[in-house]
Amino acid sequence: MATWNSRGLRGSTLEEFINRTNEKYLENGLALIQKVPTPITPINIDKQTRHITLAYFDQRSTVDYIGAVQGIPVCFDAKECNTDTFPLQNIHEHQVKFMEDFEKQGGIAFFLVSFTARDEFYYLRLAELLKFWNRAKEGGRKSFRREELDPSFFLSVERGVLVPYLTGLQRDLDMRD
């Protein structure tokens, strides 16, 4: 079981960038997106500072963020990768199932992938992820490489928005029409 010590801060920079992006989108009336808290059970608490020093995750989380963009329900998960190869083991079966069910209800589900070594962000459509996911289930590669991705879904900083995923969302919507 994962612990707070081992995984608690992994992805915190990406999450901070996304949180700031969400604040900017809210200020501009473009989206209302909330971070989904991961329920934990504290094991050790420092009595002086009252900080949790060790905890276990109570249950499997589904996605990191959920909300609405101009009336469209969206959910997404943030993932980081420090190489050009993203291991699919970083995505869990229950997350994929939740996202598939979310889209069946008329929502849009996606991943935001940060290629940290390149300082790049990628909007990974669920349909694109499923292509790699199914390939792995059929005995193929258990990862995907950066060069396999659609270049039009790499995100560039726009007018002070650190992770402009609404640009990716618009492209995603255009492809569905």
Beta strands 65-69; 52-57: pairing state: unpaired
pLDDT confidence of residue 2: 39
Span 3-25, pLDDT tens digits: 333 343 344 588 899 999 999 99
pLDDT confidence of residue 11: 47
- Do 33 and 74 form a contact (C-beta atoms < 8 A)? yes
Predicted TM-score (pTM) of the model is 0.83
Any binding-site annotation on 64?
yes
Q: In which element (H, E) is residue 37 found?
A: none
CA 150, CA 168: separation in Å to the nearest integer? 11
**If you average pLDDT over residues 158-169, what whole number do you get?**
90
CA 69, CA 108: separation in Å to the nearest integer? 10
CATH fold for domain 15-37+62-176: Trna Endonuclease; Chain: A, domain 1 (3.40.1350)
Any binding-site annotation on 62?
yes
Least confident of 38-47, 112-121, 139-148: 38-47
DSSP string, the chain: --BHHHHTTTTHHHHHHHHHHHHHHHHTTSEEEEEPPPPEEEEEE-TTT--EEEEEESS----SEEEEETTEEEEEEEEEESSSEEEGGGS-HHHHHHHHHHHHTT-EEEEEEEETTTTEEEEEEHHHHHHHHHHHHTTS-SEEEGGGS-GGGEE--BTTBSS-HHHHHHHHHHHH-
Span 58-82, pLDDT tens digits: 556 689 999 999 999 999 999 999 9
Domain borders along the chain are: 15-37+62-176
- Do 107 and 73 form a contact (C-beta atoms < 8 A)? yes
- Residue 113 amino acid letter: V
Percent of the chain clearing pLDDT 70 (strictly above)? 85
